């Protein structure tokens, strides 16, 4: 199900818009703020169907990493977004979306893998979001 073109589109960075899988395969010891990171072409193409003004990067990265993140996006020449929302934690994303359900009731299309990366173990930890009424969640792994 697709929402209207004027709805809000939120897109996660790591393991969604950024192809961290490819980065980790090519450079196992590289960090997420590497300039060697690539875009996930499937997600980039998917975002091309929406107006730039409606697309917001919705990342669990904290604002302390904002300059590194902006530099990565510039190097990748990715400009198809309105603003970056540095949320800080995956759980805070859930809170943000729940507040939308309760108060704002805006239709949101969300591209997010809902995983946290454990830097010590180099493993991904899946997170289970609560049910959202106004959010259409699309896991980037399911895109072709």
List domains and CATH numbers for the chain.
8-142 (3.40.50)
For the CA atoms of 123, 79, 63, 39, the dihedral, rounded to the nearest 10 degrees, stands at 10
Tell me whether residue 3 is exposed, middle or buried, using C-beta atoms within 10 angstroms of its C-beta: 0 to 12, 13 to 18, 19 or more: middle
Supply the pLDDT for residue 5: 53
Distance CA 56, CA 9 (A): 6
Q: Where are the alpha helices (DSSP H) in the chain?
A: 20-26, 41-47, 66-75, 90-99
CA atoms within 13 Å, Cβ hemisphere of 83:
5
Structure tokens at 133: 């009424």
Structure tokens at 3: 């929402």
Tell me the mean pLDDT in the region 87-115. 95
Residues contacting 93, CB < 8 A, separation 6+: 58, 60, 87, 112, 114, 129
- Provide the whole-model pTM: 0.92
> How far, in Å, are 10, 45, 90, 120 from residue 106 at the CA level?
12, 24, 20, 37
> Would you call 21 helix, strand, or coil by DSSP?
helix
Distance of CA 20 to the CA centre of its chain: 12
| Rounded percentage of the chain residues whose pLDDT exceeds 70 | 96
Supply the pLDDT for residue 29: 84
Supply the pLDDT for residue 1: 39
């Amino acid at each position: 199900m697709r929402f209207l073109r004027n709805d809000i589109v939120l897109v996660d960075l790591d393991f969604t818009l950024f192809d961290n899988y490819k980065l980790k395969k090519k450079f196992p010891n590289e960090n997420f703020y590497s300039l060697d990171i690539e875009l996930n072409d499937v997600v980039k193409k998917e975002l091309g169907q929406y107006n730039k003004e409606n697309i917001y990067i919705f990342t669990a990265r904290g604002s302390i990493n904002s300059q590194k993140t902006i530099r990565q996006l510039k190097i990748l020449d990715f400009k198809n977004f309105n603003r970056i929302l540095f949320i800080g934690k995956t759980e805070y994303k859930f809170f943000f979306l729940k507040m939308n359900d309760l108060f704002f009731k805006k239709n949101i299309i969300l591209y997010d893998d809902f995983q946290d990366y454990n830097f010590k173990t180099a493993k991904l930890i899946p997170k289970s979001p609560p049910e959202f009424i106004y959010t259409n969640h699309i896991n980037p792994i399911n895109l072709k």
